[in-house]
Amino acid sequence: DTEVTQTPKHLVMGMTNKKSLKCEQHMGHRAMYWYKQKAKKPPELMFVYSYEKLSINESVPSRFSPECPNSSLLNLHLHALQPEDSALYLCASMPGTGELFFGEGSRLTVL
Amino acid sequence: QKEVEQNSGPLSVPEGAIASLNCTYSDRGSQSFFWYRQYSGKSPELIMFIYSNGDKEDGRFTAQLNKASQYVSLLIRDSQPSDSATYLCAGLDTGRRALTFGSGTRLQVQP
């Protein structure tokens, strides 16, 4: 199994809603990532979990809350988002060799 | 700040030609580099990685790394219209175990 699976693929939410993005991998990778990508821009790092502990938070607003329940799962909890948070949210995992394996992404629209 | 820079393009080549994509990086400590292909609306897909000075070939793709000059390149031989995409160069920040992406080069292969 060489996949990173993200759900949902599309999400529309209002500014007062609470929702979560989910990510799962079964490749045994111990590092997992959330990236945000706006149109025509490169992926921008948000969070890194290493061995289920948060190792990097790139000064992301607290309305984004990551969670790593175990070595295979990664969640991103969303609350009180702004329209400018609309983007493609990419989950990825990394083996020891350094390359990132991306999921298909969750396209988020905030109304 | 560690940076990876690419020409945003678009780079337009005729079908069957060689496409040459270039990337420079600022961190002399970077050891590992990755090329991703991203189709519009899709997530990045790993094409190649390179760690050592010189060339690395995989099918129609050749990655080149010159650590003294701090540049990385990707050559695509016999370019096909299906190669039309944005190509992202990324360097591994070893200390943070995270990839820093260039802004991407849009490649257009004309039939």
Interface of A with B in 41-80 (CB under 8 A): 41-43, 45, 48, 50, 55-56
Listing DSSP states for chain A in one string gives ---EEEE-SEEEE-TT-EEEEEEEE-S--SEEEEEEE-TTS--EEEEEEETTEEEEE-S--TTEEEEEEETTEEEEEEES--GGG-EEEEEEEE-TT---EE---EEEEE-
- Model confidence at B29, pLDDT cuts 50, 70, 90, reads confident
Task: Return the pLDDT at B51.
Answer: 92
Confidence at residue B31, expressed as pLDDT on a 0 to 100 scale:
85
| DSSP-assigned states of every residue in B82-108 | GG-EEEEEEEEETTTTEEEE---EEEE
Residue A100 has pLDDT above 70, yes or no: yes
Q: How confident is the model at residue B60 (pLDDT cuts 50, 70, 90)?
A: very high
Q: Please report the pLDDT score of residue A62 as a whole number.
A: 96
* Chain B residues close to A88, C-beta within 8 Å: 43
Closest to A35 measured CA to CA, from A15, A56, A52, A53 = A56
Q: What is the mean pLDDT of chain B?
A: 94
Query: What is the pLDDT averaged over residues A91-96?
Result: 95
Confidence at residue B30, expressed as pLDDT on a 0 to 100 scale: 82
Q: What is the pLDDT of residues A53-88, one digit of tens each?
A: 999 999 999 999 999 999 999 999 999 999 999 999
Chain A touched by B18 (CB under 8 Å): no
Q: Which residue of A has its CA nearest to B87?
A: A42
Tokens linked to A63: 């309305």
pLDDT at B101: 95
Which residue among A42, A45, A103 sits closest to B43, beta carbon to beta carbon? A103
Per-residue pLDDT, A91: 98
Cα A33 to Cα A106: distance, rounded to the nearest angstrom: 14
User: For B70-108, how does the pLDDT look when each residue is reduced to its tens digit (9 = 90+)?
Assistant: 999 999 999 999 999 999 999 998 888 899 999 999 999
Minimal CA separation from A16 to chain B, in Å: 27
Which residues in A lie closer than 8 A to residue B42 (C-beta atoms)? 104-105
Q: Say whether pLDDT at A2 is over 80.
A: no
Q: Within an 8 Å CB–CB cutoff, is residue B42 touching chain A?
A: yes
Amino acid in position B46? L
pLDDT category, B2, cuts 50, 70, 90?
low
Place of tokens 């995270």: B98
Asked if residue A1 has pLDDT above 60, the reply is no
